[in-house]
Amino acid sequence: MVQKLDYLKESASQTAGPYVHIGLAPGAAGFDIYEKQLGEVIAGPKTPGERIRVEGLVIDGTGAPVKDVLLEVWQADASGAYPHPEDPRSANVSSDFRGWGRVITDFDTGLWSFETVKPGAVPGRNGTTQAPHILFWLVSRGINIGLQTRMYFEDLADANAKDPVLNMIELVARRETLVAKQTEKGVYRFEIRLQGDGETVFFDV
Amino acid sequence: MRNREPKLAEFYQRDRDWHPAAYTPIYKTSVARSPQQALLSLDETISEITGPTFGHNDFGALDHDLLKNYAKTGDPVGERIIVHGRVLDESGRPVPNTLVEIWQANAGGRYRHKKDVYFAPIDPNFGGCGRTLTDANGYYFFRTIKPGPYPWRNYLNSWRPAHIHVSVFGTAFSQRLITQMYFEGDPLIPLCPIVKTIPDPKAVEQLTAALDLNAAIPQDSIAYKFDIVLRGRRSTLFENRLEGN
């Protein structure tokens, strides 16, 4: 016998279920309860940077939109800094910038969208630079543990080509699953495919 | 000063054998919503070791009290309970000032959601959600009513055990977790397809809150204790050592 390590186990994940909105976005469930819903504004009007809109669908293995998915996003500001104490540049982040948001679908179509500022490049590991990106976390009925992925920007092809995370994806064609298409100036379309043809790359972080 | 690298201490590798797999045919909705390709293992960067922060300004005074936060004409119907515990990491350290959000059905097993069509009635005095920040010791508590079990269309005769959904943030996007709390003694727990997505019975025990009479308020509310464990974190720096470290 040896000494016990005494680590605890992480609580096991369980699906957020179809009624996740009650807890995380009660307005979408159809009622008002809190003075402030969290995650509605990612970048307030005083946040410096280029205003953008991101929209898309989450599509399941049958090709149908996932109408009850809830997404959370997390991103750096236009200078590439996170509003978090462990980012050495966080003191320079506008107090109007939260960097985090909750994104709700239209229950009839599954279409979602959010407005924010375009993030800047952020430091990578070992002195590298990561291309501007937004982290996504998806939960819904039928998703047993939240799915993590990233969104990059089509119009930043040079930066994307050098991005250390995109370059980890061996199959070059799959890198495209993380790149949002620019449909017009300042508007990006990001389709997340859960399964099958064109399946989005998800990360074990 | 030189352009300093952010101080990166990574989180422990998530034990994917302890969590449910993505594809669990016993829970039918997972079949078309589960990735088939392997997850890509990613070394954490500043993007993953940071995450949103919350302050007391974000909350109202009754947000953690589900008996009162939607009450219109009186208290909601049901067993009055306190749910309390701590948010810890895998090293046993408390996670202070972190956001805990819960949602649940009412005593009859009905959710206040425009997509819930179960015929058990809506309780006019019950919203079914609450939220709070843990204190400096990682401690949190809610007051609510015990939710009822309810039928759902997995198999024709599937019933969810009584449960409360729990969402926790930790300090980093990598720690983000949603799970469900079950109640000690509920015979529906081992029968539930969603519970059975969890491979190890010990992991189910960890999601089953214990009746905690010491924390009950006599003649008022019974209590259940539910500790939540988030991923732990390395305490040492890795290769990007700062000068002087």
Average pLDDT over residues A21-45: 95
B229 to A10: CB separation less than 8 angstroms, yes or no = yes
Question: What tens digit of pLDDT does each residue of B81-108 get?
Answer: 999 999 999 999 999 999 999 999 999 9
pTM to 2 decimal places: 0.95
| Contact between B206 and B67 (Cβ < 8 Å) | no
First to last CA, chain A: 33
Phi, then psi, of B132 in degrees rounded to 5: -160, 165
Per cent of chain A over pLDDT 70 is 100
pLDDT-derived band at B236 (thresholds 50, 70, 90) equals low
Name the phi and psi angles at A41, rounded to 5: -120, 115
Mean pLDDT of A86-94: 95
A chain contacts of residue B129, beta-carbon cutoff 8 Å: 22-23, 26, 33
- With an 8 Å Cβ cutoff, are A16 and B167 in contact? yes
Where does residue A188 rank: exposed (0-12), middle (13-18), buried (19+ CB within 10 A)?
Answer: buried
Total Cβ atoms within 10 A of residue A21: 26
> Has residue B161 got a pLDDT over 80?
yes
Rounded to two decimals, the ipTM of the complex is 0.96
What residue in A sits closest to B103 (Cα-Cα)? A23
pLDDT at A4 over 70: yes
Instruction: For residue B160, indicate whether it is catalytic.
Output: yes
Q: What is the mean pLDDT of residues B37-51?
A: 97
Chain B CB contacts of A125 under 8 Å are 8, 43, 45, 240
A157: CB partners within 8 A, 6+ apart: none
Contact between A84 and B53 using a beta-carbon 8 Å cutoff:
yes
Arithmetic mean of pLDDT, A14-33: 96
Structure tokens at B240: 């990007």
Angstrom distances, CA of residue A113 to CA of A47, A105, B16, B160, B181: 19, 8, 31, 32, 31
- Torsion angle, CA of B91/B94/B95/B101, rounded to 10 degrees? 110
Confidence of residue A103 (pLDDT cuts 50, 70, 90): very high
Residue corresponding to tokens 């462990």:
A86
pLDDT bin (cut points 50, 70, 90) of residue B7 is low
Q: How many CB atoms sit inside 10 A of residue A62's CB?
A: 11
In chain A, whose CA is at the least distance from the CA of B208? A11
B229-244 burial: b if 16+ Cβ within 10 Å, else e: bbbbbeeeeeeeeeee
Residue pair B80/B116 in contact by the 8 Å Cβ criterion: no
- According to DSSP, the residues that pair with B181 across neighbouring strands are B164
Active site residue B93: no
pLDDT over threshold 80, residue A6: yes
B163 carries an active-site annotation:
yes
Mutate to test the interface with B, among A31, A130, A144 (most CBs of B within 10 A): A144
Higher pLDDT, B235 or B197: B197
Whole-number Å distance between alpha carbons of B144 and B49? 33
Please name the helix (run of DSSP H) or strand (run of DSSP E) that holds residue B202, with its range, or none: helix B201-206
Sign of CA dihedral B210, B211, B212, B217: positive
State both tokens at A125.
Answer: 């590991």
State yes or no: pLDDT of B239 exceeds 70. Answer: no
pLDDT(B238) > 50 = no
Q: What is the pLDDT of residue B111?
A: 97
Locate the chain A residue with the closest alpha carbon to B94. Answer: A8
Query: What six digits make up the tokens of B156?
Result: 């024709």
One of B70, B111, B140, B224 is an active-site residue; which one? B111
A57-80 mean pLDDT:
98
Residue B235 has pLDDT above 80, yes or no: no
Phi/psi at A172 (5° precision): -55, -40
Q: Distance between CA atoms of B34 and A12, rounded to whole angstroms?
A: 17
> Does residue B1 surpass a pLDDT of 50?
no
Across-strand partners of B88?
A: B94, B229
B178/A137 touch (CB, cutoff 8 Å), yes or no: no
Identity of the residue numbered B34:
S
* The pLDDT of residue B62 is above 90: yes
CB contact under 8 A, B39 and A204: yes
Of A6, A123, A145, nearest to B92 by CB-CB distance is A6
- Spatial contact of B26 and B196, defined as CB atoms under 8 Å apart: yes
Residue B9 pLDDT exceeds 50? yes
Question: Which residue ranges form the domains of chain A, and what is each CATH number?
Answer: 20-193 (2.60.130.10)
